[in-house]
Amino acid sequence: MSIRQDNLGVTSLARALTLRTAGYESLLGNMHSQGICLSKLTHCWVRCVFQLFGSRIERLNDRVVLIADGKKIAKQGHKMPAVKCLHQESDNHSKPAFIMGHSTQAVSLLVNAVNSAFAVPLDIKIHEGLVFSNRSKQTLLDKLIGLIGTLDLPEHYYLVADAYYASGRMVNSMLDSGNHLITRVRSNSVAYHPAPVKLSRNRKRGRPRKYGNKVRLVDLFRSATKIHHIPSPVYAEKSVTLKVRQLKLYWRPSGVLVNFVLVDHPRRGRIMLMSTDLDLELSEIIRLYGLRFKIEFGFKQASQVIGAFDYHFWMMDMTPQRRWAGNQYLHKKSEKYRNKVREKMHAYHVHLFVGVVAQGLMQYLSVCHTELVWRTFGSWLRTIRQGIPPSERIVAMALRNCLPYFLVDNAQTCNLAKFIIENQDPDRADNLGNAA
């Protein structure tokens, strides 16, 4: 996946190595194989990430930093399970408001890379589109919590997410597991001051009051005397001063005291952040949330460079899905039909996970072998910024250039090189096959 020049599904994998026709069928069978246990592979991948990146992993108060977000993948297949009508909330007018596709959720680990950072993907799953039981009450938030739980992380973490994940269920789940959530809250959010403590002789019968006066968070920007000015801790911002205010208030959806940070940016406007860690400094809350966009950049690289989302697996026995339809309800279908849907979903998740591993290893080469990548990528860039590691596209070019030499030098010693050479089609092999 890292050396192919086009992202056209499994066929591009066969073209990248000039495999025989049987190689394409084998790759399809591999994607659909039930012998692949994704849960075990995920645990292995998480351990590899923590071992490979080591001290480069962003840590704060002995906690790693996770970034979570959703990704909507456009798909037009009428015989593809889990494809449904999705609404896109974006300020980009080039994107349509509604698309047909797969709705996924992903979790990434924040890693420092000299003067930059990477969101190294840990896992991604399709979380919408299928209803196997009409009794199921799971929401997308529950599924994301379950996804993080299956990672079996070796350390506690801060989870950074956007306003969609600012919910009481998410906050309470993080606190119950000993972790913390950093997120943005919506502009119409309200909070409560702690109730004043009354003396014992003046107390009435019943439980003491927990909530005091109600306040709209957006109104707190008006108090000029309580607003402080600090240099912007946001990534890649210099000579920018922020107006900030920090308060510890009760948030009714979670029923606990949380840390609110109000930020007034001179160019980007106002934003209200929330952290469940009451001792975390406001500058760190702003800095970590400012790095949330790294997962968006990772989605772009996975789509345009690696092609992790370009799978085309149709289920021929599937009842065709109508355009602009919603969830596919399967509780009235036969068990044989439901199992075929599960097999096809497994193939989608295998392809997505292969993309996760490919992107993570390319990021490892970029962060830990920067000079070697720049020496071997074999092309030209107008600007190479010092201290900024190469992108996944540069790493892909370097790997593509090194592949023929890898096959020639290791044809007799490396099992992978021997396997590729033995399965190549000599009639279709270009300079890659001839060199080998």
Q: Are 87 and 97 in contact (CB under 8 A)?
A: yes
374, pLDDT greater than 70: yes
CA pair distance 432, 160, nearest whole angstrom? 43
- Cα distance between residue 393 and residue 4, in whole Å: 11
Q: Evaluate if residue 323 carries a pLDDT over 90.
A: no
Q: What is the pLDDT of residue 380?
A: 87
What CATH number should be reported for the domain whose range is 28-196+208-387?
3.90.350.10
Task: Count CB neighbours of 191 within 10 A.
Answer: 23
Q: Is the pLDDT of residue 223 over 90?
A: no
Report in angstroms the alpha-carbon separations of 60 from 50, 67, 110, 157, 258. 15, 14, 11, 9, 18
> Worst-scoring range by mean pLDDT, 43-47, 119-123, 132-136?
132-136
Q: Where are the beta strands (DSSP E) in 40-156?
A: 59-60, 63-74, 84-87, 98-113, 116-126, 130-131
d(CA 77, CA 72): 15
Please determine, for residue 238, whether its predicted confidence score (pLDDT) is greater than 70.
Answer: yes
Which DSSP string corresponds to 122-149?
Answer: EEEEE-SSEES-TT----HHHHHHHHHH
CB 346 within 8 A of CB 34: yes
Angstrom distance (rounded) from CA 329 to CA 320: 13
Q: Are strands 328-329 and 130-131 parallel, antiparallel or unpaired?
A: parallel
Mean pLDDT for the chain? 91
Residue 434 has pLDDT above 70, yes or no: no
| Of 302 and 115, more confident | 302
Q: What is the pTM of this model?
A: 0.92
> CA 99: distance to chain centroid?
20
Hey, what are 433's tokens?
């096959």
Chain region(s) in the chain for CATH 3.90.350.10: 28-196+208-387
Query: What local confidence, expressed as pLDDT, does residue 115 receive?
Result: 84
Average pLDDT of the residues in 120-129: 96
Per-residue pLDDT at 432: 55
Distance CA 390, CA 374 (A): 7
Q: Kindly state the tokens that stand for 426.
A: 């000599």
What is the spatial distance between Cα 370 and Cα 390, in angstroms, rounded to a whole number? 7
Contact 242, 286 (CB under 8 A): yes
Quote the tokens at residue 377.
């990528």
pLDDT tens-place string over residues 56-113 = 999 999 999 999 999 999 998 889 999 999 998 776 677 888 999 999 999 999 999 8
List the one residue out of 41, 60, 39, 37 whose CA is nearest residue 49: 41
What's the pLDDT tens digit per position in 3-28? 998 888 899 999 998 898 888 999 99
**More confidently predicted of 376 and 134:** 376
> Are 70 and 163 in contact, with CB atoms under 8 Å apart?
no
Location of structure tokens 């030499």: 405
State residue 200's pLDDT score.
66
Share of the chain above pLDDT 70, in %: 96
pLDDT of 209? 84
337-346 pLDDT tens trace: 999 999 999 9
Query: 25-46: per-residue pLDDT in tens?
Result: 999 999 999 999 999 999 999 9
CB 20 within 8 A of CB 431: no
Q: Report the b/e string of 201-237 with b at 16+ CB within 10 A.
A: eeeeeeeeeeeeeeeebeebeeeeeeeeeeebbbeee
> What pLDDT score does 226 carry?
85
26-59 residues labelled b (16+ CB within 10 A) or e (exposed): ebbeebeeeebebeebbeebbeebeebbeebbbe
- Mean pLDDT calculated for residue range 407-428: 88
- pLDDT at position 435 is 52
Residue 436 confidence (pLDDT) above 70: no
Q: Answer whether residue 116 shows pLDDT above 90.
A: no
